Chains A and B, each alone.
Chain A
């Protein structure tokens, strides 16, 4: 059985010896020192650092070993199935890493003269065009650093649009379905809007009746994920778009689930005005334990003038950065975007082409439906919102019966899965499903690995009925056993840095 490494690796501050060092930076040449004189004399006494920062002191060897050991106490997509729903944990091609680590991109400064950065500008320009083609939008902006950052740009665009129309004082509301990602309502608030929640109907789709009641002259827009977080396609999208547009609102597409419809259907064609994409989901760039990602935003022709500056333009001969956009919302961040990440997306699209991207979508959908069908047969699990409807990229199962019959919760199942060397699904989301297990296999995993997952789920549910103790006390095979997450957030025990930890220890002595 799976057994994760556990090195009992101490905090880096408790390793090493005073005086050891891991790296020597270049020094100022002797002549420079002679001419400039003692550099410390240049800094006013009041601004000099009095005591050295308490950074660790280790040799290069010890540092490499420390972090190598830590990496072995971690689980990545290269380790095995990672079925986190709505997170699209797919394979991250190695060639893309190689390309993104070339000096020809690493060592380029963003303010270099345009003539010296034509290569990267061409890549970014073409990527914008390809993403616009894939999403059916008019223009794409690469600036946002993450999906939520793209959402914030999206809600800022709504703000700019209604402001220019003189309606921003009136249009204060953004509508989100109850099954939406948490970032949607949070992003609406970031741009100063209030949130109106519409419920899902018995099919797991936006309730058309509720939407009709929710829209008004106060509506700035609707944020929708399609396919939604249940993995179900919002089949009434045409009507939804009509209702929102007739009320004067804009339609926003949360691209977290774009993987299912790559090359099959396009948000722009369905009437969405603003679309964000998660490059680190759909376009195969690594999540890096939480980032960096990239969250480009595509818009309709009408909204293009509001996009952040600069825009990359091509005059037929060379590429330029255009800052002359009077209606632009401004800047979401410094410079142009997470370029090293975007470069990987460029290579990803090149490696797959149109046919390959379509294959990505089809196989991811096949895999999700395969898992849905197999898993719903397991005692204790159900597939809410109808087993007959096809799912798209993900499926959401409920462990409600398991919980009521055995007291084993979705959380327990998740923790026990880790013991099998499998990552857990997203749990307790969307909130409209009790004891939710939200599963997105992506196109990455072979049938054999999917079957291994189904088999592990079957065994765990069986254990729940026959030997619940082993599930309740899981995980057993990970680097550490079940952690006390409450303690980590409790004011009395909270230690958010080594410094704070030391302080707490002293207080408790």
Chain B
């Protein structure tokens, strides 16, 4: 009898729920004068109370959970199983051990948004340092402590520009990530913002200044460019475009991959008003595309700052003036105070990813960031060098400087991008992203990405494999 009771108790007390022990529940119910748990649910109309168990799995022990999830995940192939030459908005980079260690510090990991600043100084100072380092990197003066990703950051930027200028058109390059464009549409359309795409130069991929001048007008709220562009090349006409945008009273918004900013001119140097971008490469793993980390930075102009979306951490002092501290600033922009008049509905953001990026930027320092940029550019351009020598391959499509991504065209080969891709996979190599549907005008083209994690040997393996595949492919068809 005793054994049975003990077993029952153990079974009924879940490790995550200390008060699930029946005798505690009884004790608590007695104290509040309740007969049963059901009494506490008596106000839910009878017809809505669940009558039968939901179709959910049986609870498993921790060991079994681990075994099952690991078993499922083992069906995935990863960047360590095979070289993966994919980028396009999420990039394979090395995440240093220190980053992983710090983001698992449970005082940071398990804390909420730092509403109570005095007990949350660790998180607040770290986020302030993140904002500050993003400013240094981008050449801007104010950054928020994160948005969801580059795409949603662009969406927010378009709405902010429309509010500031009271205009409703945004110019966006024709060469832009289709998912980013689709996200921008979801954010922009309800605010009455019209997206106009600007053509590119067929030779260089650079934005066509002619088309740009035709489209910019006194209706333009913002001009948006990306650097490097979605297809990996450096946009060089930034000063002209920035000047033209400002001459028309429009804002200049620049999207960045921050790993390029050790070597490329920061947007602050060409008078960007808002900088958006993706900070996943700064210390965050790919995780099948999420979480990501949206960068959002702007100039030190109160009018602009007051329209910013998202959480911003500010430096302050203690009330007695004796100590330094940090707290959330300008909360009157935010939904929990301003409700329908808020600058955005964003609440939960990607704070812990920002912590990872802060640690990463600190680890690299100015010298390390410069070296990272150099390494990426060397390796990507080495891949371009090898691939462009292969019969039937043109790499890159555009005559411009490429940073870490580049287009590879197979028009000179019999095989489609998909065929090439599948044959690479058979050889244990994951090729780039197929652009055939996104940019039909570029023919049989894929977008390849090379970063510091790709070794000389892996890049050469890719070249050799492509050479074999294309040679073989031609033979079969002749």
- Report chain A residues within 8 Å CB of B39: 390
In the complex the two chains form, what is the Cα distance from A411 to B326 in whole Å? Answer: 18
Q: Identify the interface centre among A50, A116, A491: most chain B CB within 10 Å of its CB.
A: A116
Q: Of A263, A500, A501, which is in contact with the most chain B CB atoms at under 10 Å from its CB? A: A500
Q: How far is the CB of B46 from chain A (nearest CB, A)?
A: 10
Q: What is the chain B residue whose CB lies nearest that of A152?
A: B345
Chain B residues in 8 Å Cβ range of A186: 335, 338-340, 342, 344-345
A346 contacts which chain B residues (CB < 8 A)?
A: 69
- Picked from A130, A288, A350, the residue with its CB within 8 Å of the CB of B59 is A350
Known: A50-B265, A447-B24. A483 touches B151 (CB 8 A): no
Q: Tell me if B122 is interfacial: C-beta within 8 Å of chain A.
A: yes
Chain A residues positioned under 8 Å from B167 (CB to CB): none
B311 contacts partner chain A, Cβ-Cβ < 8 Å: yes
Interface size range of chain A in the complex: 35 or more
Q: Say if the beta carbon of A509 comes within 8 Å of chain B.
A: no
Chain A residues with Cβ below 8 Å from B10 are none
User: What class of interface size applies to chain B in its complex with A?
Assistant: 35 or more
Roughly how many angstroms separate A460 CA and B334 CA in the complex, as a whole number? 31
Nearest A residue to B321 via CB reads A484
- Neighbouring A residues of B328 by C-beta, 8 Å: 485, 488
Q: A53-B262, A351-B65 are in contact. Are A334 and B151 (CB under 8 A)?
A: yes
Asked if B89 CB lies within 8 Å of chain A CBs, one says yes
Contacts of B452 in A (CB 8 A): 25-26
* CB-CB under 8 A for A146 and B346, given A36-B378, A347-B65, A423-B119: yes
Contact (Cβ within 8 A) A55 B56:
no
Is the pair A71, B105 in contact by a Cβ cutoff of 8 Å?
yes
Count: A-B pairs, CB below 8 Å: 721
> Smallest Cβ distance from A2 to chain B, in angstroms?
10
Residues of the A chain whose Cβ atoms lie less than 8 Å from the Cβ of B28? 366-367, 370, 447
- In the complex, A39 Cα to B70 Cα: how many Å? 42
How long is the Cα–Cα vector from A447 to B30 in the complex, in angstroms? 13
| Cβ of A362 under 8 Å from chain B | yes
- Nearest-neighbour CB distance to chain B for A59, whole angstroms, equals 10
Contact status of A414 and B125, CB under 8 A, knowing A49-B266, A76-B109, A105-B76: no
**Given that A112-B77, A146-B347, A354-B56 are known contacts, is A424 also in contact with B142, CB under 8 Å in the complex?**
no
Q: Does A360 contact B (CB under 8 A)?
A: yes
Pick the interface stretch among A211-219, A242-250, A398-406, A438-446. Answer: A438-446
Task: State whether A489 touches B332 (Cβ < 8 A).
Answer: yes
B475: A residues at CB distance < 8 A = none
Render A370-385 as a binary contact track against B, CB cut-off 8 A, 1 for contact: 1001100000000000
**A261-280 interface mask toward B, CB cutoff 8 Å, 1 = contact, 0 = none?**
10111100110000000101
Establish whether residues A147 and B347, one from each chain, have CB atoms under 8 Å apart when the complex forms.
yes
Q: Are B287 and A106 in contact (CB under 8 A)?
A: yes
CB contacts under 8 Å to B, within A116-173, are 116-120, 122-123, 130, 133-134, 145-149, 151-152, 156, 159
Within the complex, the shortest CB–CB distance from A34 to chain B, in Å, comes to: 10
B439 at the interface (CB under 8 A from A): no
Find chain A residues with CB under 8 A from B289 CB: 109-110, 334-337, 339
- Residue A97 lies at the interface, judged by CB distance under 8 Å to chain B: yes
Q: Which residues of B contact A1 (CB under 8 A)?
A: none
Contacts A33-B378, A192-B190 given; 10 further ones with Cβ under 8 A? Answer: A55-B365, A68-B102, A73-B125, A78-B107, A97-B104, A109-B289, A443-B19, A480-B117, A485-B316, A495-B314
| 9 A-B pairs closest in CB distance | A335-B289, A288-B352, A110-B289, A192-B190, A353-B59, A74-B122, A290-B351, A119-B75, A76-B110
